[in-house]
Amino acid sequence: MKKHLISDKKKRKLSLKYENKRIILKSIYHNSNLCKTTRWNASLLLTDYCYKNATKTRFVNRCIFTGRKGKFRQYYRFSRLIFLNLARNGLINGIRKSTW
């Protein structure tokens, strides 16, 4: 699991590194007031800067305790199982698990 967490962190770091360049090149490419050669060069540079792991679609949300990717609570950043354990023990403020 630790290997997956490290690789996901690298992907996020790489995406932040190239995010500004990608936004600028996309805005140049979509601007119809510019000449075609400028837009063409922007599209070529955009394909050069697009590393496979630098896109946001490659991110995987994982639990911060277990590294589990399925059944993930976005707001709390816990998996379902850890969330239930913490709620039962009363360690999450404002949430109380009902007991019979």
Both tokens assigned to 1: 């699991």
Domain boundaries, the chain: 2-60, 65-100
71: left (phi over 0), alpha (psi -120 to 50) or beta: left
Question: Kindly report the CA angle at 73 between 4 and 61, in degrees rounded to 5?
Answer: 25
pLDDT reported for residue 99: 62
CA dist., res. 66 & res. 6, Å (int) = 13
Architecture of the domain defined by 2-60: Orthogonal Bundle (1.10)
Q: Which residues of 71-98 are buried (b: 16+ CB within 10 A; e: fewer)?
A: ebeeeeebbeebbeebbeeeeeeeeeee
- Going residue by residue through the chain, which has 100 residues, state the pLDDT in tens, using 9 for 90 and above: 688 888 888 888 888 888 888 889 999 999 999 999 999 999 888 887 667 777 777 788 888 888 888 787 778 788 888 888 888 888 888 877 666 5
pLDDT reported for residue 42: 92
79: left (phi over 0), alpha (psi -120 to 50) or beta: beta
pLDDT reported for residue 95: 79
| Total-model pTM | 0.61
